[in-house]
Amino acid sequence: MVKTLKEISELIDGELLGDGEIEIIGVSGIKEAREHELTFVANSKYLREIERTQASAIIVGQDIPYDGKPLIRVDNPYFAFVKVLELFAWRKRKTTYGIHETAIIGDNVQIGEMVSIQAYTYIGDNVQIGDGTIISPFVYIGDDTKIGNETLIYPNVTIREDVEIGNRVILHCGVVIGSDGFGFASVSDRHHKIPQIGTVIIEDDVEIGANTTVDRATMTNGATIIKRGTKLDNLIQIAHNVVIGEDCCIAAQTGIAGSAELKDRVTMAGHSGAVGHITIGADSTVFAKSAATKDLPAGSYVSGFPAENHAQQLRIQASLRRMPEMLQAFTRLQERVTQLEAQLNTTDDKSDDS
């Protein structure tokens, strides 16, 4: 795909400085970019690269002076570059619409317009698939599942029965939606499986990374819910009956235990976790390798295990780093106290003799 610089500047609502007829065929980082590619500068440490880059044009902030290199000035260079990336990414993806001859389609399946169902996909009975949805090869979709419009499902995704998926959802390779929750009743040293017969609801504009699993709720009327706009990284475990609010961001290797609730805009950093049946308030952050073990009020910043106030944890970590020197100082104090005690004892003995 080829776009002129003028067309791109109009797309991102930017101020064009330089030749608008330059043809752009791709996008790249400022160090890697070549002729007829577009790049961006959003971090001041890359300003020196503006003179050295081979890119034909650069997306920059409002404070960058024009020195002859074609520029597009915008308020947010990073977000503008994301919009250009989306433009080129969708044009590069080759999609054949229709149903591949090897796909297995169940009874009473409703398929919208401009849908792509690719090779070796299995779709169960009573499934609904919205307009513009793309289902890649080797996807399994269970009975009575509903999938919205313009959703993208990558290869080897498994969507179990009775699941609801909204519009513009992205499910990456290996995602499993609606697997059984980890529920067992222990009697006489044996574990008896508790049937998991609830559902999963994934709202609009959610993205779920590769090999992430979202368990179904336990009860008939229960649901594990991931709300609008939330983004999940690769390798995340979401247990049964969890509710994740809108616009949350959860990084890789995070685990959320059963019936926990994350309010809107919660951030869970890599390798963090939350125990079951707690609530993490809106706009909170749980830092990397930390575990939330109790309810957290809105706006919390916590770290450590168990997770506590992040500022307090930083003070604790700073103290721990000084521990060897503190122990040495304590040892010296002990030795000095021992010497002083010995001197006092000697003085007392002489007093007694006199």
List the catalytic residues. Answer: 240
Q: Is 250 helix (H, G, I), strand (E, B) or coil?
A: strand
**Between the CA of residue 207 and those of 58, 173, 214, 219, 252, what are the distances in Å?**
29, 12, 12, 26, 13
Structural Rg of the chain based on CA atoms: 29
Intra-chain end-to-end CA distance of the chain, in Å: 106
- Asked if the bond preceding 306 is cis, omega within 30° of 0, the reply is yes
Distance CA 142, CA 161 (A): 4
In terms of C-beta distances under 8 Å and separation of at least 24 residues, what long-range contacts does 159-165 make, across chains too?
Answer: 160/200, 160/216, 161/124, 162/199, 162/216, 163/199, 163/200, 163/201, 163/202, 163/216, 164/199, 164/200, 164/201, 164/202, 165/202
What is the 3-state composition of the chain as percent helix, strand, coil, each rounded to the nearest 5?
A: 20, 30, 50
